[in-house]
Amino acid sequence: MNSQNDMNKESWVHYISMTPPSLSDNAADVDRLTAQLKQRLNVRFIDMDRSIMVSVPAVLRKSNFNVRCVLFGFDHQYQLIDIQPSNDCLPVYGLAIDLGTTRVVFRLLDLITQSAVIETTIDNPQCDIAPDVLARIHYTDQADGLFHLQQRIIHAINQQIQHICTTLCIRATQIMCVSIAGNTCMTHLLLGLPPQAIIREPYIPVINRQLLLPANELGVDINPRARIFIFPNIGSYFGGDLISGILALDMYQQTEISIMVDVGTNAEVVLGNKDWMIACAGAAGPALESGVSKIGMTAGPGAIERIQPDNQSFIWQTIENKKPVGICGSGFIDLAAVLFQSGKLDIRGKLVPDKCKDRMLYIDNIAHFLVVPGETSATGKNLTISQVDIDSLIRSKAAMYTILTTITQSVGIRLTDISTFYVAGTFGAYIDPSSAITIGMIPDLPLQRYQSVGNTSLAGATRVLLSRKDIEAVSDIQKHITYLELNVNQEFMNRFSAAKFLPHTDTTLFPTVNVPSI
Amino acid sequence: MNSQNDMNKESWVHYISMTPPSLSDNAADVDRLTAQLKQRLNVRFIDMDRSIMVSVPAVLRKSNFNVRCVLFGFDHQYQLIDIQPSNDCLPVYGLAIDLGTTRVVFRLLDLITQSAVIETTIDNPQCDIAPDVLARIHYTDQADGLFHLQQRIIHAINQQIQHICTTLCIRATQIMCVSIAGNTCMTHLLLGLPPQAIIREPYIPVINRQLLLPANELGVDINPRARIFIFPNIGSYFGGDLISGILALDMYQQTEISIMVDVGTNAEVVLGNKDWMIACAGAAGPALESGVSKIGMTAGPGAIERIQPDNQSFIWQTIENKKPVGICGSGFIDLAAVLFQSGKLDIRGKLVPDKCKDRMLYIDNIAHFLVVPGETSATGKNLTISQVDIDSLIRSKAAMYTILTTITQSVGIRLTDISTFYVAGTFGAYIDPSSAITIGMIPDLPLQRYQSVGNTSLAGATRVLLSRKDIEAVSDIQKHITYLELNVNQEFMNRFSAAKFLPHTDTTLFPTVNVPSI
């Protein structure tokens, strides 16, 4: 028992030994139990459903007042979810969910060993109805549209929970708590909250603050007393997935200044340290998600994800080493860097015919660069990137750099003051920082300051299931963040125009980048 | 609107005007609303069900951000129950319930005008299954016994709510909050909590602390978001009905010492002031509830409720002036006082044949006193009180006086230090203090110190529906009270023996009582 008592005080599982009642110590059963729990957790109040109160007397007496309790909650909202005799109880689990627009990732955690048991991914089934945030919100204008979208995601979550439980031979009732981190829109759709005002000026969510909901109230089929923690949002364009990321990276605890950038159609940026934190989000354009160019694609088998210079040409590498079918964001950034360094793109981002030579083609009167000839591609057709695609990438990278400049200048620091530059998100995991620096998308910092951090949304959702300290940090983080509205004013446009060059009009900002003379 | 805004800040109904959102003030709808409410109520947190969140955006926009909110809760547990446009909303109600073992009293309150709308009483339908606390708890040993008892009371509450709503032409969904004050056992049965340990040493309830439950969770058919407040208990024999009474009488706010006595099968006593409070409960015997004597009855039409001396005889008065059918507790106390003062009872409480003369009969060899001859009674039979009945009354009154002596001595005060003596409960409403003093049941205080206070349980339940300050006082009162275990030791028995005389062995304790010489 001692080793159990010594387990992490921040855990949600607590072994409690009580003195049985007597005439001189006649506290009621539930009050006796919660007094111990309140002391252990040092909190003022512990709540529980009536269904658990009903079972308390029998469990206490059966166990001779030695019980294992599972709790979950934050601040003033602690819920006692399960009570079992200490010497006769099953493992208990928590489920962390990264609720992405495109993909939903599940990680089951053993709450006692505090380790991950399984991780699975599904496509967000709402994609079949509407691919992106905007389309989904428009879909809710239809009768029952919101209900339909909500039911789809909840049904998919339940299916996946069933699948996980079958795989591991456990019961869904052993899952005691769930944490869900998603962007503002995905969170609204999950909760069945009308999202229409999110995309209409002045861009107002129904709710930003965090929630703790009974699982059965949301229709999630786990322990009926389980609670679901929903990460809070900062606003319409800065959601719980990012707050979860800030938690996962401990940005709010660091003395040095760090920045987290999540790049997609929107660039979401948060900058700060333990004393202050500022966030903003801006349209980065679809080029980085490769939604524009004909051969652009999201990362998947056969996507060119990496391009490196090779003499006067380059070599490419595809995901799973399949024959190339297209190019994904990280590959496109690499390609632009390689083309620029070899003089095939000029500082304005225009293809240079003299340098591209036979790699340059005209299709419908538009200049194209031949990335992979048809004889090598999976499709048998030429894989080309057009000047239009490149212009789009240039705008995206300029937008990103402008946003980074704007947010740092708003708090009076230089980009070089940033100690750690976290590149988050699935896309961020594949970007080569040196290529991104070469095209002037991100600042010219020493490469070791860049960290690709993968799925920080899932990592943060995991943290709150393992530690009370972490779940309580969430609302602090949310309150701590100042959201900077990006005003697209003249100053912003001037910065944007200067950033549309490769790497930048002011080349002194990129001292390590060699600007080839053409 | 001003008059509405000026309404009692302690009320549960609040009219809120918000500035509509803008780009520079983009708080989420729910957060905008709760920020205002938190400021108005000066609380840290306001919770709400998801079902209300869903409706918030539309109501805010429809009302141009002027809404009427109904809240309920305490301390950290405030619930937003209803939100409507300020200029277009229905009346809202609260329902106070005194959950008695025998009778259940309902009082519907208009939460806006803060006035009572209707009051109704039903028999507790659990009586049909088992008449008293003990029998009901034994009944729960049967399979489904507890469930059966719980369903009976909830069904009866729902029926009565339906009846009230039909009578007043209102909808049950307009009832936003309910408060229920009952003794510890009735509260357990209502909640479906196993009550067996209440009556078995060491007498442990499942829970003492107050609760706030969703109405639909308990199956009460009112507004599905409504909350039900359950008064806390002190222990197995001192329940929420008494805490409600302490609240209603403001005992916990007074500088002077007061005492509240609720007399029934048990005598429940609480003594104190704003600085301290002590409570105890003890068996007073069934005589005071008139459950023993053949003609004893609870107060009802035809019960002799009052007896006054008239020359060497006495005159009686019945409830509703019906022909007499029996005698209820208050009448029995009056009778004993009259008999004692006229010398027909001696100081040991024995009938004196020389004085009773032809009023004295022997039935089965036991002395009886003829209260009403058969020609006058409703039954056509003599209404008599036996020596056994009188002995039982003497034991009851002695127990009461001993309990009062014990509790005052435990805190080092004299009975004469009590400024106000509240006699609570339906029975208390009818006791004539001067008769009770004459037989030595209650201390010989100036009569103006006695106050009959009626149904204080219902009064307290009403208070919490009208005032946040009052609902928050409840847990303070509960924590404030020290419960005194009555140890039936030698000292207690000595006191009890001394109190079995009329009015007492020590007649100096009853200076105003004339002890007739026989």
Name the burial class of residue B489, with classes exposed (0-12), middle (13-18) and buried (19+) by CB atoms within 10 angstroms of its CB. Answer: exposed
Q: What is the pLDDT of residues A108-125, one digit of tens each?
A: 999 999 999 999 999 999
Interface of A with B in 75-114 (CB under 8 A): 75-77
pTM: 0.92
Mean pLDDT, rounded, for B319-335:
91
Does the CB of A489 have a partner CB in chain B at under 8 Å? no
Per the CB < 8 Å rule, is B26 touching A204? yes
Please tell me the distance from the alpha carbon of residue B215 to that of residue A401, in angstroms, as a whole number: 55
Does the CB of A41 have a partner CB in chain B at under 8 Å? no
A216 vs chain B: nearest CA distance in angstroms?
A: 12
What is the model's pLDDT at position A6?
Answer: 41
Does the CB of B489 have a partner CB in chain A at under 8 Å? no
Nearest to B206 among A53, A207, A485 (CB): A53
Per the CB < 8 Å rule, is B206 touching A30? yes
Please tell me the distance from the alpha carbon of residue B278 to that of residue B481, in angstroms, as a whole number: 5
Disruptive mutation site among B44, B50, B479 for chain A (greatest number of A CBs within 10 Å):
B50
Across chain A, what does the average pLDDT equal?
A: 92
User: CA-nearest residue of chain B to A487?
Assistant: B23
3-class SS of residue A299 = coil
Nearest to B201 among A23, A75, A208 (CB): A23
Could you report how far apart the first and last alpha carbons of chain B are, in Å? Answer: 75
pLDDT at B460 over 50: yes
Find, among A369, A306, A371, A300, the residue nearest to A334 by Cα: A306
Per the CB < 8 Å rule, is B28 touching A209? yes
CB pairs A-B closer than 8 Å? 131
What letter represents residue B98's amino acid? D
Residue A328 pLDDT class (50, 70, 90 cuts): confident
A13 vs chain B: nearest CA distance in angstroms?
A: 22
Disruptive mutation site among A19, A22, A23, A29 for chain B (greatest number of B CBs within 10 Å):
A29
Per the CB < 8 Å rule, is B28 touching A192? no
Q: What is the pLDDT of residues A364-382, one digit of tens each?
A: 999 999 999 999 999 999 9
Per the CB < 8 Å rule, is B50 touching A191? yes
Interface of A with B in 51-80 (CB under 8 A): 53-54, 56-58, 75-77
Which residues of chain A does B236 touch, with a Cβ-Cβ cutoff of 8 Å?
26
3-class SS of residue A515 = coil
B45 vs chain A: nearest CA distance in angstroms?
A: 9
What is the model's pLDDT at position B299?
Answer: 73
User: CA-nearest residue of chain B to A204?
Assistant: B28
Q: What is the pLDDT of residues A470-508, one digit of tens each?
A: 999 999 999 999 998 887 788 889 999 999 999 999 999
Which residues of chain A does B232 touch, with a Cβ-Cβ cutoff of 8 Å?
none
Does the CB of B21 have a partner CB in chain A at under 8 Å? yes
A205 vs chain B: nearest CA distance in angstroms?
A: 5
Find, among A139, A217, A85, A77, the residue nearest to B224 by Cα: A217
The H or E element that residue A46 is part of is strand A46-48
Nearest to B26 among A30, A34, A202 (CB): A202
3-class SS of residue B397 = helix
- Residue B337 is encoded by which pair of tokens? 């006082």
The lowest-confidence range among A288-302, B32-46, B51-65 is A288-302
User: CA-nearest residue of chain B to A217?
Assistant: B50
Nearest to B57 among A24, A197, A217 (CB): A197
Which residues of chain A does B485 touch, with a Cβ-Cβ cutoff of 8 Å?
23-24
Kindly calculate the radius of gyration of chain A based on its CA atoms and give it in whole angstroms. 26
What is the model's pLDDT at position A3?
Answer: 42
What is the model's pLDDT at position B8?
Answer: 65
Residue A4 pLDDT class (50, 70, 90 cuts): very low
Per the CB < 8 Å rule, is B30 touching A236? no
Does the CB of B194 have a partner CB in chain A at under 8 Å? yes
More confident residue, B321 or B286: B321
Per the CB < 8 Å rule, is B26 touching A235? yes
Nearest to B193 among A53, A191, A193 (CB): A53
Which residues of chain A does B209 touch, with a Cβ-Cβ cutoff of 8 Å?
28, 30-31, 34
User: CA-nearest residue of chain B to A192?
Assistant: B54
Cβ atoms within 10 A of the Cβ of B87, count?
12
Per the CB < 8 Å rule, is B217 touching A27? no
pLDDT at B328 over 60: yes
Per the CB < 8 Å rule, is A56 touching B206? yes
Q: What is the pLDDT of residues A267-290, one digit of tens each?
A: 899 999 999 999 998 876 555 554
Does the CB of B23 have a partner CB in chain A at under 8 Å? yes
Disruptive mutation site among A56, A207, A212, A218 for chain B (greatest number of B CBs within 10 Å):
A207
Does the CB of A488 have a partner CB in chain B at under 8 Å? no
pLDDT at B290 over 50: no
Nearest to A206 among B25, B53, B191 (CB): B53
Q: What is the pLDDT of residues A385-425, one digit of tens each?
A: 999 999 989 998 999 999 999 999 999 999 999 999 999 87
Does the CB of A147 have a partner CB in chain B at under 8 Å? no
A510 vs chain B: nearest CA distance in angstroms?
A: 35
Per the CB < 8 Å rule, is A29 touching B207? yes
3-class SS of residue B252 = helix
What letter represents residue A405's amino acid? T
For residue A272, the cross-strand partners are: A258, A277
DSSP type of residue A121: E
Does the CB of A199 have a partner CB in chain B at under 8 Å? no
Per the CB < 8 Å rule, is A204 touching B54? no
Disruptive mutation site among B24, B31, B34, B149 for chain A (greatest number of A CBs within 10 Å):
B31
Which residues of chain B does A207 touch, with a Cβ-Cβ cutoff of 8 Å?
28-31, 53
Q: What is the pLDDT of residues A40-50, one digit of tens each?
A: 999 999 999 99
Mean pLDDT, rounded, for A339-346:
95
Per the CB < 8 Å rule, is A204 touching B27? yes
Does the CB of A283 have a partner CB in chain B at under 8 Å? no
pLDDT at A83 over 50: yes
Which residues of chain B does A56 touch, with a Cβ-Cβ cutoff of 8 Å?
206
Disruptive mutation site among B26, B38, B196 for chain A (greatest number of A CBs within 10 Å):
B26
Nearest to A31 among B21, B76, B208 (CB): B208
What is the model's pLDDT at position B288?
Answer: 56
Which residues of chain B does A236 touch, with a Cβ-Cβ cutoff of 8 Å?
26
What is the model's pLDDT at position A2?
Answer: 39
- C-alpha separations of A61 from A18, A210, B146, B197 in Å: 11, 37, 19, 11
Print burial letters for A301-315: b (CB count within 10 Å at least 16), e (below 16): ebbbbbbeeeeeebe
What is the model's pLDDT at position A426?
Answer: 66
Mean pLDDT, rounded, for A311-327:
91
Are A349 and A296 contacting, i.e. CB atoms less than 8 angstroms apart? no
Per the CB < 8 Å rule, is A54 touching B201? no
Please tell me the distance from the alpha carbon of residue B286 to that of residue B304, in angstroms, as a whole number: 17
Name the burial class of residue A62, with classes exposed (0-12), middle (13-18) and buried (19+) by CB atoms within 10 angstroms of its CB. Answer: middle
SS3 annotation, B443-485: CCCCHHHEEEEECHHHHHHHHHHHCHHHHHHHHHHHHHEEECC
